[in-house]
């Protein structure tokens, strides 16, 4: 089954403009069930030997790199939650005789959910044990230790079952690389190129495009690389040898690399045995590419350093792409220097060329793999980045009533499955439900509609809409405090599979006029007329924004009950002073709006209203990005049109990623603390080995 989420709803769940009041019977709430945990139903699918590369960097409080480590080798998964390591090679820039902080782990634990989200112990120990969070798809694993604030990246490919030869690597591959020589950002280098292997150990000469911090002032450059060689034998990988020596400060790529080629010959990963670089390749497009190949859900992982501000980040997450150039991103984003981890959601617009390439004009080079199976982003100039995306698996239906394990989204902005979900959030569930379309518009809306019930952690959820392929329901407020939410649908007594996702206190998504969370937001003037291009917001004006996912409220209301008007139902994020609305015109530094109210819209359920006053200066006229910050998340997909400011034209961009390096978009002087609720480690605890 093709698992693609349509980013233009066939069934309208926009609450603002249809005036749908989501209410359920305020009967006695069902008893709380025991705390939910990580779903390990996909663990058995990850078994056997994989070949991996893991890089980890240490930094000081100012973002300066101080030490780097890498570990390569074989990781063997037993299909029951335990792994062992063998044939490992450890590098530590501080030495491996006790002076450095890194040591190899002989084994560990792991778990995989039905939707491919995974956790595993890091394969080496730094100062403290850590957990890799990531995803598993197409026999490729990508992960980062986002909850432990490690600056790291793990990539593994399935190992061949039988002895291989040079013929295992043949054809054209899209390749990206990132390195910080001698653990120094001043020697950072990145690049991308096409590698043509002949199946006999030879690689044709090629041109690498990228940048190096110590060359050409860090600006984009190209280098010619002479013919190279590779050697593969056995099942434990081989070597890839470029001209020159490893650590050459004048080259983007040089010297010998450990080379691990996947069992199917479509992927490889590697790096220097005496360094901490990462090199990743996947099969290049064989024919003309276009946006149509970039469709569906991709699992992502990345490592980045913005040298303009020593801004280090790594992340794991996913994207939803619509096949027409629109990408909706979720990143579990770890701001390593500021020690903040949060959910970042945004959109970008690309135009994939016939060669599978697109440059956004300022920051990222997009590289699409054969048949759209993979996506890679490499930074440009002073933004050093390696981001790898693997198309999510096509998941077979396992029951008559079936939830697509990657098909649960925020109803406002279509953010993908790796994003967190919040109490009180309206979500769309996609799958096969076998019922006729029905929308309940009569108060109160019952917890059962058209024979359909939705359970979240065993609690009955208010159901607003049902159809053969989509259900819209509200997450009960009672999941507050949990780390996981498990969804199950029951249709006339027939139960679906269970799908588990992460839960946090908030998961903001702004409704938009386009009904996909992108572009002009669902915003009203104080007179309840819409804010539009022909009726823009003005300096100092107070406007009303409508959104989803702001979590629990005070005073409390029943699941699905309408927001109160006297007293108002304030979002606990607002009363905790955790909401910041920053307006980012792409020209000036973000300007902070004054948030006056955030909570349920009076008389409505599942619909949050935020009243904020625009600043009187500091913005350019036109469409301005709204960066909505809570303690747990940042979303920047919707815009507001403004007029009356001194600057005449805002820099309108399809997504903030194309214009600004990804960090919390807040005004100067605005404070925002660390996410107080990191993702829960669901694996057995472990202790560091004796040194």
Over range 676-687, report the average pLDDT: 71
What pLDDT score was predicted for residue 161? 92
Beta-carbon-side half-sphere exposure of residue 563 (alpha carbons within 13 Å): 25
Beta partners for residue 565, in sequence order: 568
Over range 294-298, report the average pLDDT: 97
Q: What is the greatest pairwise CA distance in the chain?
A: 77
User: Whose CA is closest to 115, among 406, 332, 534, 312?
Assistant: 406
CB of 637 within 8 A of CB of 517? yes
> Coil, strand or helix: which one is 217?
helix
Instruction: Count Cβ neighbours within 10 Å for each residue of 89-125 and write b for 16 or more, e otherwise.
Output: ebbbbbeeeeebbbbbbeebbbbbbbbbbbbbbbbbb
CB of 620 within 8 A of CB of 651? yes
> What sections of 280-400 are H helices per DSSP?
none
Q: Which CATH superfamily is domain 15-35+399-502 in?
A: Immunoglobulins (2.60.40.10)
Over range 295-311, report the average pLDDT: 94
Q: How many angstroms separate the Cα of 99 from the Cα of each of 93, 127, 272, 298?
A: 9, 12, 20, 40
Read off the DSSP letter of residue 410.
Answer: E
Q: How many angstroms separate the Cα of 149 from the Cα of each of 146, 458, 641?
A: 5, 33, 37
What pLDDT score was predicted for residue 532? 97
CB of 479 within 8 A of CB of 456? yes
Q: Does residue 194 carry a pLDDT above 90?
A: yes
CB of 411 within 8 A of CB of 5? no
Q: Work out the end-to-end distance of the chain between its first and last CA atoms, rounded to an integer number of angstroms.
A: 49
Distance in angstroms (rounded) separating the CA atoms of residues 414 and 625 = 18
Beta partners for residue 521, in sequence order: 512
Distance in angstroms (rounded) separating the CA atoms of residues 121 and 447 = 40
- Give burial (CB, 10 Å; 0-12/13-18/19+) of 275: buried
What pLDDT score was predicted for residue 464? 93
User: Whose CA is closest to 509, among 687, 346, 635?
Assistant: 635
User: Whose CA is closest to 489, among 436, 440, 451, 445?
Assistant: 451
Q: Does residue 164 carry a pLDDT above 60?
A: yes
What pLDDT score was predicted for residue 37? 83
User: Whose CA is closest to 418, among 70, 50, 136?
Assistant: 136
- Give burial (CB, 10 Å; 0-12/13-18/19+) of 162: exposed
Distance in angstroms (rounded) separating the CA atoms of residues 647 and 618 = 8
Query: Between β-strands 519-520 and 523-524, what pairing exists: parallel, antiparallel or unpaired?
Result: unpaired
Q: 116-156, pLDDT tens digit by residue?
A: 999 999 998 755 778 999 999 999 999 999 998 899 999 99
Distance in angstroms (rounded) separating the CA atoms of residues 620 and 644 = 9
What pLDDT score was predicted for residue 31? 36
Percent of the residues in the chain that have a pLDDT greater than 90, as a whole number? 79
Beta partners for residue 509, in sequence order: 548
Distance in angstroms (rounded) separating the CA atoms of residues 636 and 343 = 11
Residues 6+ apart with CB under 8 A from 685: none
What dihedral angle (degrees, nearest 10) is formed by the CA atoms of 208, 211, 213, 216? 100
Where residue 4 falls among pLDDT bands split at 50, 70, 90?
Answer: very low
Beta partners for residue 76, in sequence order: 49, 84
Query: In angstroms, what is the C-alpha Rg of the chain?
Result: 25
Q: Does residue 213 carry a pLDDT above 50?
A: yes
What pLDDT score was predicted for residue 624? 95
Residues 6+ apart with CB under 8 A from 603: 21, 562, 563, 565
Element (H, E) at 431: strand 426-432
User: Whose CA is closest to 523, among 614, 428, 639, 425?
Assistant: 639
- pTM for this prediction: 0.93
What pLDDT score was predicted for residue 322? 97
Residues 6+ apart with CB under 8 A from 18: 12
Q: Does residue 16 carry a pLDDT above 50?
A: no
What pLDDT score was predicted for residue 371? 95
Distance in angstroms (rounded) separating the CA atoms of residues 239 and 201 = 10
Please give the residue that has the higher pLDDT: either 611 or 7: 611
Over range 338-366, report the average pLDDT: 95
Q: Does residue 668 carry a pLDDT above 70?
A: no
Distance in angstroms (rounded) separating the CA atoms of residues 612 and 614 = 7
CB of 608 within 8 A of CB of 550? yes
Q: Does residue 640 carry a pLDDT above 80?
A: yes
Q: How many angstroms separate the Cα of 594 from the Cα of each of 543, 583, 598?
A: 11, 11, 11
User: Whose CA is closest to 319, among 135, 95, 89, 150?
Assistant: 135
Q: How many angstroms separate the Cα of 159 from the Cα of each of 46, 119, 394, 492, 670?
A: 12, 20, 21, 45, 49
DSSP for 594-647 reads EEEEEEEPBT-SS-EEEEEE--SSS-BSEEEEEEEE-SSEEEE-EEEEE-SSSB
What pLDDT score was predicted for residue 440? 82
Q: Does residue 23 carry a pLDDT above 80?
A: no
16: left (phi over 0), alpha (psi -120 to 50) or beta: alpha
Distance in angstroms (rounded) separating the CA atoms of residues 662 and 166 = 40
Mean pLDDT rounded to a whole number for the chain: 90
Q: Does residue 10 carry a pLDDT above 90?
A: no
Please give the residue that has the higher pLDDT: either 541 or 308: 541
What pLDDT score was predicted for residue 667? 53
Q: 571-598, pLDDT tens digit by residue?
A: 999 999 999 999 999 888 899 999 999 9
User: Whose CA is closest to 181, among 2, 57, 88, 333?
Assistant: 57
Over range 621-628, report the average pLDDT: 95
Q: Does residue 672 carry a pLDDT above 80?
A: no
Q: Does residue 566 carry a pLDDT above 90?
A: yes
Q: Could you state, in order of their start, the residue ranges of all structural domains in the chain?
A: 15-35+399-502, 44-158+289-352+382-391
Where residue 665 falls among pLDDT bands split at 50, 70, 90?
Answer: low
Q: Does residue 661 carry a pLDDT above 50?
A: no
User: What are the backbone angles phi and psi of residue 50, rounded to the nearest 5°?
Assistant: -130, 155
Distance in angstroms (rounded) separating the CA atoms of residues 595 and 545 = 11
> What sections of 518-591 are H helices per DSSP?
572-575
Vertex 327: Cα angle to 323 and 329 (nearest 5): 145
What pLDDT score was predicted for residue 35? 52
Distance in angstroms (rounded) separating the CA atoms of residues 566 and 71 = 60
Which of 44-48, 432-436, 503-507, 685-689 is least confident?
685-689
What pLDDT score was predicted for residue 141? 98
Distance in angstroms (rounded) separating the CA atoms of residues 343 and 340 = 10
What pLDDT score was predicted for residue 650? 63
Where residue 659 falls among pLDDT bands split at 50, 70, 90?
Answer: very low
Alpha-carbon torsion 414, 416, 420, 424, what sign?
A: positive
User: Whose CA is closest to 404, among 476, 501, 491?
Assistant: 501
Q: 65-114, pLDDT tens digit by residue?
A: 999 999 999 999 999 999 999 999 999 999 876 678 888 888 999 999 99
């Amino acid at each position: 089954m093709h698992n693609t989420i349509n980013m233009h709803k066939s069934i309208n769940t926009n609450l603002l403009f249809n005036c749908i009041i989501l209410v359920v019977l305020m009967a006695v709430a069902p008893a709380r069930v025991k705390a939910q945990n990580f779903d390990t139903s996909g663990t058995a699918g990850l078994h056997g030997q994989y070949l991996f590369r893991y890089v980890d960097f240490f930094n000081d409080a100012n973002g300066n790199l101080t030490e780097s480590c890498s570990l390569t080798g074989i990781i063997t998964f037993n299909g029951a939650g335990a792994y062992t390591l063998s044939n490992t090679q450890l590098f530590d820039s501080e030495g491996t005789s006790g002076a450095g902080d890194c040591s190899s782990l002989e084994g560990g634990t792991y778990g995989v959910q039905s939707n491919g989200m995974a956790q595993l112990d890091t394969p080496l120990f730094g100062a403290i044990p850590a957990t890799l969070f990531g995803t598993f798809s197409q026999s490729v694993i990508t992960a980062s230790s986002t909850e432990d604030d490690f600056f790291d990246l793990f990539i593994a490919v399935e190992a061949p079952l039988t002895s291989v030869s040079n013929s295992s690597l043949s054809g054209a591959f899209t390749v990206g690389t990132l390195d910080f020589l001698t653990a120094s950002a001043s020697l950072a280098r990145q690049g991308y190129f096409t590698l043509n292997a002949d199946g006999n150990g030879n690689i044709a000469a090629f041109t690498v495009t990228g940048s190096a911090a110590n060359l050409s002032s860090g600006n984009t450059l190209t280098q010619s690389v002479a013919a190279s060689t590779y050697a593969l034998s056995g099942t434990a990988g081989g070597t890839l040898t470029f001209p020159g020596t490893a650590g050459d400060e004048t080259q983007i790529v040089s010297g010998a690399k450990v080379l691990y080629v996947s069992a199917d010959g479509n992927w490889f990963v590697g790096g220097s045995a005496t360094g901490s670089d990462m090199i990743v390749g996947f099969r290049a497009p064989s024919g003309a590419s276009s946006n149509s190949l970039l469709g569906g859900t991709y699992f992502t992982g990345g490592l980045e350093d913005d040298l303009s501000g020593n801004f280090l980040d790594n992340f794991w997450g996913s994207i939803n792409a619509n096949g027409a150039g629109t990408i909706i991103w979720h990143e579990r984003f770890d701001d390593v220097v500021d020690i903040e981890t949060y959910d970042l959601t945004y959109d970008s617009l690309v135009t994939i060329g016939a060669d599978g390439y697109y440059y956004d004009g300022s920051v990222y080079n997009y590289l699409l793999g054969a048949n759209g199976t993979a996506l890679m982003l490499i930074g440009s100039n002073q933004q050093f980045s390696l981001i790898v995306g693997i198309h999510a698996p096509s998941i077979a239906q396992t029951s008559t009533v079936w939830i697509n394990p990657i098909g649960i989204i925020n109803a406002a902005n279509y953010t993908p499955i790796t994003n967190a979900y919040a109490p009180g959030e309206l979500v769309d569930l996609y799958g096969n439900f076998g019922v006729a379309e029905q929308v309940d518009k009569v108060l109160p809306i019952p917890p059962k509609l058209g024979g359909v019930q939705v359970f979240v952690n065993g609690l009955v959820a208010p159901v607003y809409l049902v159809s053969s392929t989509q259900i819209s329901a509200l997450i009960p407020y009672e999941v507050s405090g949990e780390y996981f939410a498990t969804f199950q649908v029951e249709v006339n007594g027939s139960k679906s599979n269970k799908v588990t996702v992460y839960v946090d206190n908030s998961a903001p998504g702004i409704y938009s006029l386009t009904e996909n969370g992108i572009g002009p937001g669902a915003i009203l003037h104080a007179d309840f007329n819409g804010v539009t291009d022909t009726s823009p917001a003005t300096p100092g004006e107070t406007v009303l924004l409508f959104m989803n996912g702001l979590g629990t409220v005070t005073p409390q209301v029943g699941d699905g009950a309408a927001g109160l008007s006297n007293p108002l139902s304030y979002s606990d994020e607002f009363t905790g002073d955790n909401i910041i609305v920053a307006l980012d015109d792409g020209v000036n530094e973000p300007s902070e709006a004054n948030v006056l109210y955030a909570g349920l819209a009076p008389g409505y359920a599942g619909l949050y209203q935020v009243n904020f006053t625009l600043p009187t200066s500091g913005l350019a006229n036109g469409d301005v990005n709204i960066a909505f910050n809570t303690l747990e998340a940042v979303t920047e997909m919707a815009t507001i049109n403004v007029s009356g400011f001194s600057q005449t034209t805002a820099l309108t961009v399809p997504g903030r990623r194309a214009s600004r390096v990804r960090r919390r978009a807040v005004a100067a002087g605005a404070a925002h603390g660390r996410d107080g609720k990191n993702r829960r480690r669901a694996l057995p605890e472990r202790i560091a080995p004796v040194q």
